[in-house]
Amino acid sequence: MSNPAPDADLDPVNDKYAPWVSLLREDSDYLRRAPAPAYWALAPFYVGQITETACSLASAVMVVNAGRADRTRSAGTKLITQPSLLEAVGSGLWHAGVANDDGHGVGLLQLQDLLAASFGLHDMASATIEAVPVAHHTVEVLARFRAVLQACEAAPGQFVIANYYMGAVLGRGDYGHFSPVGAYDAARDRVLILDVYRVEFEPYWVPAERLFEGMATINRADGEPRGYLTVRLPAS
């Protein structure tokens, strides 16, 4: 398994998004008619990563803030920020990976542990965090991914953070990336990505199989498969 080449049909100078990408601001019909609980939980806490390598940290901050949203109604309660979460978790590995532009980020399994620690530090140790490496591009594994996406649409308190190769998903970009999934439009089999690289990208829809192709790749930093993380909060 290798990282696929960026799409040859893109103009490398003028085209930011591949032809299969649809921007949310131009295509919001699904969110107007569907409950989309994950989107509405995450949207108030949508942030851009603070360094070129902090996509894992920004994704974690969004999901943890969404999980503790009811607690922030109290006067004086502050939202979690990327610097505050990095300091609270106190992981040398995470700090080395994301605190500066020249870091190497973290891998999927590493983020599982860091996200669990993040929830635990904010009195949500009962949250269930699962990393799902996508080692093989098979019908069965893709079906499982679609089922996870459908579960997020069916009930609140469930989130997905995707870890994918950008070239496969957007048609350009020779690097791996983390971002939360905002919604899944099953009728059109497409996924809304709340991309945390906000200095360049805005929320976009991509075909589920394109995202899956990007997840079924190898992280060059650690030689491990990419994939996705699921977060399930206990029912209130």
User: Mean pLDDT over residues 32-60, rounded?
Assistant: 98
Percent pLDDT > 90 in the chain is 84
Alpha-carbon separation of residue 11 from 17, 83, 119, 210 (angstroms): 10, 37, 42, 19
What is the tally of structural domains in the chain? Answer: 1
Q: What is the pLDDT of residue 50?
A: 98
CA dihedral 27, 57, 81, 47 (to 10 degrees): -10
Residue 155 per-residue DSSP state: S
User: Mean pLDDT over residues 110-128, rounded?
Assistant: 95
Residue at 98 is within a domain: yes
| pLDDT(156) > 80 | yes
Q: Give the Cα separation of 163 and 148 in Å (integer).
A: 15
Q: Give the Cα separation of 233 and 10 in Å (integer).
A: 40
Q: Give the Cα separation of 209 and 190 in Å (integer).
A: 8
The per-residue pLDDT for range 74-110, each reduced to its tens digit, is 888 899 999 999 999 999 999 999 999 999 999 999 9
Sign, CA dihedral 88-94-100-106, equals: negative
Q: Is 20 helix (H, G, I), strand (E, B) or coil?
A: coil
Residue at 125 is within a domain: yes
Residue at 88 is within a domain: yes
Residue at 13 is within a domain: no
Q: List the CATH number of the domain containing 47.
A: 3.90.70.30
Domain that holds residue 210: 22-232
Q: Give the Cα separation of 89 and 39 in Å (integer).
A: 26
Q: What is the amino acid identity at position 7?
A: D
Q: What is the amino acid identity at position 61?
A: V
Cβ burial of 196 (10 Å; 0-12, 13-18, 19+) is buried
Return the structure tokens found at 158. Answer: 């469930």
| pLDDT(63) > 90 | yes
Residue at 3 is within a domain: no
Residue at 37 is within a domain: yes
Q: What is the pLDDT of residue 14?
A: 62
Residue at 2 is within a domain: no
Q: What is the pLDDT of residue 223?
A: 86
User: Mean pLDDT over residues 121-146, rounded?
Assistant: 94
Return the structure tokens found at 58. Answer: 């920004």
H or E element at residue 140: helix 139-154
Q: Give the Cα separation of 206 and 191 in Å (integer).
A: 5
Contact present, 216 and 137 (Cβ < 8 Å) = yes
Q: Which residues contact 73 (CB under 8 A, 6 or more apart)?
A: none
pTM for this entry? 0.93
Residue at 165 is within a domain: yes
- Tell which residue, 16, 6, 37, has the closest CA to residue 158: 37
